[in-house]
Amino acid sequence: MLPLTETVTHLENTLFGMGNPLLDISAVVDKDFLDKFGLKPNDQILAEDKHKALFEEIVKRNKVEYHAGGSTLNSVKIAQWMIQKPHKVATFFGCIGTDQFGEILKKKAEEAHVDAHYYEQNEEPTGTCAACITGDNRSLVANLAAANCYKKEKHLDLDSNWELVKKAKVYYIAGFFLTVSPESILKVAKHASDNNKIFCMNLSAPFISQFFKEPLMMIMPYVDILFGNETEAATFAKELGFETDDIAEIARKTQNLPKENAKRQRVVVFTQGKDDTVATKVTMFPVLDIDQNDIVDTNGAGDAFVGGFLSALVQEDGLVECIRAGHYAANVIIRRVGCTFPEKPDFH
């Protein structure tokens, strides 16, 4: 039997995430606010010029909350929380500005025990994401700013950073990063595929399949585990001409898309809110029951599901256990504002 310290420390830096680090600014708003900025109640979009005033207005609302966010960072943070010890199971790369929001993101990653290595630049301020909450719905408007400035050759390619990539066994990158640096994703995905490691990706939002289909399909042959929700799955199916709106069938067809590393069959996992999670080989997994009154904020539920899933995956658990951990994490997170969590998980 190995001494405990050895069995525990082997998990350090085994999970690698790369994405858009954003400071989430969340506030409860009303329908008038959504209408004013042309927002749907439940959506994720990139900010345009017409949304500039939204960021100025939302911070003036009462009860504004600031949380370290960005989809991939949320997920690796949750994975670390589920595992607890050792610290620094997850490495995270992304770009921030040299400003106060950037300092907050650094501090928050440190508090979450994530080993974050940021590319810092001073041309753009740290990215923000306005979470406009109405009832159970959340409309996310991301102003990427600095997050959009990630440079492969100035960060990922540096020897000390690439060593951290090589150290990992499981990789997770949300589809959102396709809008920033597909070449960085490709380099990491190829490394995972060539070394028979596990590369995971998320469809992230309908607009990714619609407007970034080319980079998405460039990476798809390297994807071992693909996550998404029912809306993203439907949009993806439509863009690929699958001609079905049956979620299990979409999962099957996605699983059978061309794949580089034949040693691993692709696994597709689609969540459906309160309905069963669909995973290939097509099985339905019921989510944990929750009283509607206990749902505080569904923002971060998808990220939390992935985080829980990844926490079991890096510990080499099977699919059923990974999904159980994902459902647990999501169930905890929707009872709280933002992608936040209690001190310790109660998961066995």
CB-hemisphere CA count at 13 Å for 235?
A: 16
Look up residue 103 and give its two tokens. 């300092």
Place of tokens 């999962």: 251
d(Cα 163, Cα 29) in Å, to the nearest integer? Answer: 44
Q: Which residues contact 145 (CB under 8 A, 6 or more apart)?
A: 97, 124, 125, 126, 127, 128
Instruction: Name 136's Cβ contacts closer than 8 Å, sequence gap at least 6.
Output: 292, 295, 298
Q: E strand or H helix at 329, and its extent?
A: helix 319-333
C-beta separation of 283 from 255 below 8 A:
no
Residues identified as active-site? 303
Please give the single-letter amino acid code of residue 60: K
| Alpha carbon distance 256, 252 (integer Å) | 6
